[in-house]
Chains A and B, each alone.
Chain A
């Protein structure tokens, strides 16, 4: 079956613009995660969805970041008024929900965001 799909693959935009990143999880996966990875750095947790709810938003770095999920499927991560420090790869992962965190996550290819 299809894996986690993210779009766009690459996004280049000017500072101050808004961007929207999309994630299509594996069908049947109720848990969905967003991460940010700067060049040469580790994964930075942003937000987690269980179904359409986000019980933990503590990783969002500022109020310019928001995310939603609908139909227990597609999720969008929106960054408003982008800054150069937002440049990174944004990774989405999904998993079955068989107990909190007990299932392995499967990652999409990521969206490489560059802010000019």
Chain B
């Protein structure tokens, strides 16, 4: 079953604009990760944020985590056509005996040149 749910399902923006994607989850987590997938290809890890962190940056990426609301957001600034891809959040449950990441269904981002 899906733990993370991304919102929106699809997003279309102009090159140079910022893109914001949201992820909501249900249970307590150890960390939350964001991955990118270009069409039909393998997922690429973007960023990991631990449950005791509130914000993290990596280049043009900014991730926030609000554990009280069980939600995270991924902001891509100054988007480029090459950012066109699907973006997935994945949660690592903090419950004992949990040995897997649970992925959401993703947000499909289209950046129009």
Do A and B pair up? The answer is no
Which B residues lie at the A interface, using CB under 8 A? none
